[in-house]
Amino acid sequence: MTLQKPILRALAGETLPTPPAWMMRQAGRYLPEYRATRAEAGDFLSLCYTPDLAAEVTLQPLRRYSFDAAILFADILLLPQALGAELWFTPGEGPRLSTTTTPDELSALKPADAVHDRLSPIYETVRILARELPKDVALIGFAGAPWTVATYMIAGRGTPDQGPAHALKTEDRATFDGIIDLLTAGTIEYLSKQVEAGAEVIKLFDSWAGSLQGEDFARYSLRPMQEITSALKARFPGLPVIAFPRGAGNRYAGSHAAVGADCIAIDDGVTAAWAAEHVQPAGCVQGNLLNSHLVTGGDALVTETQRVVRALRGGPHIFNLGHGITPDADPENVTIMLEAIKNA
């Protein structure tokens, strides 16, 4: 690891004249070359589990754009599949999982340290990327946070309000806690292997954190991420971790300390100016351009990009979107965004 890479410098707490930048879902359907490689793979899971192709789509945006990081191409639901859940993708409808909602279904899953055989292709993808990435580009490994992954395991699919997971949490807390505990332990194992294979930064995506209310937010979003972060840092001293409790609102304040993360990623539900005052004093902030600007482009894209950069220029900042880039984004708008960052 070398702190000369801009992302690593920002994660170490350095305020840079121009923030390093990357995008969530930067390898994805907005790029024609991704769609071609996806067609070559045949289906989404085959793309994830074929290291040469997964590495190829991870590298594609680096050939077009001057990003400072690449993020491993994979999916947050590969972990529950490795634990024994059935996983498939229905065209036009997204992922489907066999449900885990009873003590018997939970006990039928594999232990946390049994995930590696299924996930070995993912580690090979990381090894390929560690060899092939440009020397100034950092490699980010990732996983879904336990709460978010649990919502899919319990419902068997994505839901608008995570209702089935909230219901199980209320009706059978022991089983729900068992799912969270298993996912926490499994995520530590999964991410440890990513780091051993060459990942330099880890990001935890808690995409549905915002639906947790009251004490449940701390108990089921922040605490599992803290346990994962603490375990990873004990195994790999100096490893930077980015946590993304999406939808946290004013609860982003204090999240650095609660998770032990080096950086808190923020969505577009808070302003960059608010984050500069309430979040950035505790450490690096990542975010938070509204992703629809990469669809609509124009002067607003430049103005809003520079507003984010200027608001957060007083401390460590990694420029990113408030959520992933969408399939209908114009690739040319990414170039415009990156130029606006440099000229802010």
Q: Which of 34, 123, 152, 220 is catalytic?
A: 152
Is 75 assigned a catalytic role?
yes
CA quadruple 48, 52, 53, 57: dihedral, nearest 10: 100
Q: Which of 9, 34, 68, 75 is catalytic?
A: 75
Picking from 241, 192, 246, 196, the residue whose alpha carbon sits closest to that of residue 221 is 246
Residue 85 identity: A
* CA–CA separation, 182 and 205 (whole Å): 17
On the 0-12 / 13-18 / 19+ scale of CB atoms within 10 A, 113 is exposed
Is 173 assigned a catalytic role?
no
Q: What angle do CA 76, 82, 83 make, to 5 degrees?
A: 105
Helix (H/G/I), strand (E/B), else coil: 90:
strand
Within a 10 A sphere around the Cβ of 270, how many other Cβ atoms?
A: 20
Contact criterion met (CB below 8 Å) for 65 and 137: no
Strand partners, 70: 139
Q: Which of 38, 96, 127, 157 is catalytic?
A: 38
Contact criterion met (CB below 8 Å) for 207 and 251: no
Helix (H/G/I), strand (E/B), else coil: 321:
strand
What is each CA distance from 59 to 36, 72, 97, 138, 299, in whole angstroms?
A: 14, 9, 29, 12, 29
* CA–CA separation, 90 and 99 (whole Å): 16
Is 29 assigned a catalytic role?
yes
Q: Which two tokens stand for residue 212?
A: 């947790």
Q: Which of 9, 25, 246, 251 is catalytic?
A: 25
Q: Strand ranges (DSSP E) for the chain?
A: 69-71, 87-90, 94-97, 138-144, 201-206, 241-245, 263-265, 284-289, 317-321
Helix (H/G/I), strand (E/B), else coil: 285:
strand
The residues annotated as belonging to the active site are 25, 29, 38, 75, 152
